A and B are shown apart, each in its own frame.
Chain A
Amino acid sequence: MGRFIVRRVLWLFLVLFVVLLITFVLMHLVPGGPWDREKALAPKVVEALNKRYGLDLPLWRQFVNYVWGVLHGDLGISYSYSDRTVTSILLHGLPKTATLGILAFVFAQAIGIPFGVAAALKQNSAIDYTSVLFSTIFASIPGFVLGILLMVIFSVVLHWLPTSGWGSPQQIIMPVICLAALPAAQSSRITRASTLEVMHQDYIRTARSKGILESTVRVRHIFRNSMIPVVTVAGPVLADLITGSFIIENLFAIPGVGRLFVQGIFSRDYTLIMGGVLFYALTIALLNLVVDILYAAIDPRIRYE
């Protein structure tokens, strides 16, 4: 297992380098740069700006400088947020995005898994049909629409919750619900399907015939085995939630990483884009590694060399 982890980490460095290279090339291929505005800047101003941010160097030189900086922990300076370092911008936004993502993930699993299990154990009952109905509804409504709907009901009409922003617990409720809706629905469906499959396995019948308590059969054998597909999906889902939903962050005016990153793309803020991509790639790769390790813990049949 140890060798496995070391090998994955080495691959990680290669993956990040390739990702950075591809992003850098694409970024510069796309027409338009950070100083292109409709009210044109005087050529002298553009020249001065390019000099200040090192954009007048040849492209390969800029890339090499960038990678060298990354290896020293320096992600560069943002152009659209005057002179703030990309590291400080990402670190500023990360706690908010991560909190939102993790809360949404926990909420999604806390709702989805129990309902999925209940639906499977009591197949074709009222719980089963309600669970399927809600998961279909929440899988179909886009987060944006759900957000506006919740905002209208709870802020504008009932005045119970503030519309947007970040800081108080009341402000987290609606964004978390919107972000968790789809993962909860997916989780519920996967859990249900997986539990149904496991329930009808031979070894469950064996366990029951051995005289084990039904509750122990459910927790020790059914639940644990049916979690494998859920864990497989959970890793990428968590990575997706943590790396920030731009739409929800933009809607609820949450100063997180997702919103910053997409705004950086629109304003051609090269260093912010590269920093954002690096952050995403790293998070996704690490979370996938964690999932693979957890996998081995849950299912003893899986071995890595």
Chain B
Amino acid sequence: MQRKTVFFSLLAILVSLSLILTSACSSKTSSTTTNTTPQVITLNLGGENNTIDPNRASWVGERTVLVQLFDGLLTFNADLTLAPMVAKEIPTVANGGISADGKTYTIKLRNDVTWSDGTKVTAKDFVFSIKRLFDPDLASEYASFYFNIVGGEDYYSATDKTAAEKTALKDAIGVKAVNDYTLEIKLTDSLPTFTQLLALWPVFPVRQDMVDAHGDAWAQPDANGAMPYYIGNGPFILKEWVQNDHYTLVRNDKYWGTKPKLTQIVFKEIADANVSLAAYKNNELDQSGVPGGTEQTTMDDPTLSPQIVRLPQLTTYAFQFNVTKPPFDNKTLRQALACAIDRAAYINEVRHGVGKVALSWIPPGMPGFDATLGTDWTFNVTKAKALLAQAGYPDGKGLPELKFQVANTGANPTIAAFLQGQLKDNLGINLTVDLMDPKAYSALYNAKEFNWGFTGWGADYPDPDDWLPQLYMTGAGNNKTGYSNPAFDALATQALKELDNTKRLKLWAQAQALVVADQPMIYIFNRETFVLQKSWVKNMVTCGLDGNIVGDTFLRDVYIQK
């Protein structure tokens, strides 16, 4: 190369580098010379949402965004009790909100709730939303939670019917606006936990004029990322959604309730845990998880350890049997295997010390949790061996091949290896492990063709109604174990209808006890979120219902103080 060329190219490189670096540095200095701290928080959603249409949303990341933008009839407090929101009071039998037979709900609404454009929120907005939830063409995933509403399921199943028939079915749904501020809902059967369902996002109010005028595009960004038709009644307004990149929410200055101190929330979508942590350290994020396995080093780090926030989640994970396939149809064998697993070692080795041992299904922190259940099956090698012999396989002799299937993602290979190790070390049994493609595993699992798998469950709402019937009733939708116990079915059917809360919880307690005794799953641990949070984020209240961002349920109460 000519010397002149080398000189000029080096000069060009130096000039461009200095331009870029000075602009990078100058943006850093300008933020430290402001007098008032900007009330802006930047958080990581971790991935892209499918939709933020309340009637169609199902993923936890979608809920995170929705609860900032909408207020429902009711809401949850941090201790998981219910509180009224758009409704004046929680409907009960005592205040006439619920009829004596439990089938009619008459909910009085506040008359001062407004949408972000100033118009009033009325009962019609809820009627529209609930009917739309069952729209057969919408194919909403959470509609089945509300099938107790009269006519809901019929309308939802009407995909093949004519338009006239569909309209007739829609009009027959048991929800109506008695007047502007009174909502009436009729159920096919009493369901005491229906009030909790009224606090969830699928029945947030929805603007009929926006949906009628723009169809499904009401909840979609335009080419620039703006959301011109997306109107909510919550403390924040969605200013823009740049897809696969970020959301920007700004404060709703016309908010009907207590205005938040935050003026802006940015939700980023950084999928990689290492990058998220790097962004946190570079002050681009105010909260971040840590890459799996680094929890202990983070706890030992003097700068980072004061920033750790740990939140026990309402989740339980278990090694789930298919009790219809031998040899796992043998209850004593299942109990033997349960006693052979050192759950504390699991938490230390696989979860890096973050989480709590679980011996029963319903997690601590919600009604229905029973600390006395499952203690018969704690880690005890002698008992495990004795039970194994009792099951007909002394010292493992004569035991057919034990198979374990799991999706080949995340920590699952480690989990499978752990289980293999435990069985080998404690009982001398060999376990065949099959690491499968996630969708292939889901297909196998949903077809109930697996032998032994790993499953987790998180609360949609904090009640045994959400934890027991779907999983353990004979033939229930999420009952993949094949568990079938008529005594449980009877208790569950009764508990679902029982209006007296004390009696109801007692029934569920008995039902759970039956399940735990039969061990269709070996309960292992309750998960805990482990995140780092900047010290300038103040007044963050965490709650068992928080999603993938800690504190997202009460984000509206947060402020920044540097």
Contacts and interface: CB of A to CB of B under 8 A. Distances in A.
B216 A253 contact: no
B443 A45 contact: no
B164 interface: no
Contacts of A82: 50-51, 53, 56, 216
B301 interface: no
Nearest to B458: A39
Interface in B110-167: 136-137, 139-141, 143-144, 153, 156-157, 159
Nearest to B438: A266
B20 A159 contact: no
Interface string A23-42: 00000001111001111111
Interface string B52-71: 01001000000000000000
A216 interface: no
A148 interface: yes
A11 to B, nearest CB: 34
B20 A173 contact: yes
A117 B9 CA distance: 15
B24 A161 contact: yes
Contact of A48 (B48, B156, B269): B156
Give the contact-size bracket for chain B: 35 or more
A205 interface: no
Nearest to B139: A48
B535 interface: no
A253 B275 contact: yes
B272 interface: yes
B446 interface: yes
A96 to B, nearest CB: 9
B243 A81 contact: yes
B284 A163 contact: yes
A174 to B, nearest CB: 11
B159 A47 contact: yes
Nearest to A151: B278
Contacts of B275: 151, 163-164, 251-253
A295 interface: no
A148 B269 CA distance: 18
B440 A30 contact: yes
Given A38-B445, A38-B455, A253-B268, A160 B440 contact: no
A82 B159 CA distance: 19
A63 interface: no
A268 B441 CA distance: 13
Interface string A121-165: 100000000000000000000000000100110011001111111
Contacts of B24: 160-161, 170
Contacts of A165: 245-246, 268, 270
Contacts of B136: 48
B94 interface: no
Given A51-B139, A151-B278, 15 more contacts: A32-B441, A80-B50, A81-B48, A81-B243, A82-B51, A93-B244, A162-B279, A163-B282, A165-B245, A167-B245, A169-B23, A250-B272, A252-B275, A253-B269, A259-B244
Interface of A: 30-33, 36-45, 47-49, 51-52, 80-84, 89, 92-93, 114, 117-118, 121, 148, 151-152, 155-156, 159-167, 169-170, 173, 215, 250-253, 255, 259-260, 263, 266-268
- Interchain residue pairs A-B with the least CB separation, the first 9: A32-B439, A255-B244, A82-B51, A36-B442, A48-B139, A31-B440, A42-B144, A163-B279, A32-B443
26 contacts: A30-B437, A31-B437, A31-B439, A32-B437, A32-B440, A32-B443, A37-B442, A41-B141, A42-B144, A44-B156, A45-B139, A45-B144, A47-B159, A81-B50, A83-B51, A114-B1, A114-B9, A117-B1, A156-B278, A159-B282, A160-B24, A162-B282, A163-B282, A164-B275, A266-B438, A268-B439
